[in-house]
Amino acid sequence: MQRFGEKLRVLRKRRGLTLQELASQLGLTSHSYISAIEFGKKQPSVALVIKVAEMFDVSTDQLLKDYLEVD
């Protein structure tokens, strides 16, 4: 099972994005928030979950539910 942060890291790396590139594409000024989410130190906002789902063409369920993996 993967948590949101782990899934985000997998999706980001598959796309070949750095933390800074992903943050920029999500409209964030700093990559530290994304890093903290990936390491489970912070929880994402609902708005961020929706942006990530749209960006990577996955459902919010796939991102949030432990029993659904990202393909």
The residues spanned by each domain of the chain are 4-63
Q: How many residues does the chain have?
A: 71
Could you tell me the pTM of the whole model? Answer: 0.88
pLDDT over 70 (residue 68):
no
Is residue 30 a contact partner of residue 23, using CB atoms and an 8 Å limit?
A: yes
Q: Indicate the fold that domain 4-63 takes in CATH.
A: 434 Repressor (Amino-terminal Domain) (1.10.260)
Mind listing the pLDDT tens digit for each residue in 14-63? 999 999 999 999 999 999 999 999 999 999 999 999 999 999 999 999 99
The residue assigned the tokens 């708005």 is 47
Alpha carbon 63 to chain centroid distance?
8
> pLDDT band at residue 8, thresholds of 50, 70 and 90?
very high
> pLDDT band at residue 66, thresholds of 50, 70 and 90?
confident
